[in-house]
Amino acid sequence: EVQLVESGGGLVKPGGSLRLSCAASGFTFSSYSMNWVRQAPGKGLEWVSSISSSSSYIYYADSVKGRFTISRDNAKNSLYLQMNSLRAEDTAVYYCARGEGSTSSYWGQGTLVTVSS
């Protein structure tokens, strides 16, 4: 069974940093691209970033480019999102999802990031 478990969310002050993690199991992690998608309270889904299976290709939404860094450790079956210079508008539930082409086939339960003073 495919499982994705996010962690690392919490309350952080504007300008602060946070590192999210996503632990994957139930599939060959190193064979799949991975995505981060977020959802602000009461709002729709927003794609944040994607990383290919070998980390050769990395993409970011303009809203986070230069502030967020996606990475992965295939030996640890883990995906990460380093978030710096956080803003109030980054407040959201952050989901990791397994990528298959343009599809996010499996999603984690999400971790809440709140940016507030």
Partner 1 sequence: QSVLTQPPSVSAAPGQKVTISCSGSSSNIGNNYVSWYQQLPGTAPKLLIYDNNKRPSGIPDRFSGSKSGTSATLGITGLQTGDEADYYCGTWDSSLSAGEFGGGTKLTVL
Residue 44 C-beta: closest distance to partner 1, Å: 4
Query: Which residues of this protein are in contact with partner 1, per CB under 8 A?
Result: 35, 37, 44-47, 50, 59-62, 95, 100-110
Closest to partner 1 by CB, 62 vs 75, is 62
CA angle, residues 11, 37, 69, in degrees to nearest 5: 70
Q: Which is nearer to partner 1, 45 or 77 (CB)?
A: 45
The encoded tokens of residue 59 equal: 């993409």
Question: Residue 9 or 110: which CB sits closer to partner 1?
Answer: 110
HSE, side-chain direction, 13 A CA sphere, residue 77: 11
Q: Judged by CB, which is closer to partner 1: 16, or 23?
A: 23
String of DSSP letters for 32-56:
SEEEEEEE-TTS-EEEEEEE-TTS-
Min CB(2)–partner 1 separation in Å: 11
Chain centroid, CA 20 distance in Å: 7
Shortest Cβ 4–partner 1 spacing (Å):
9
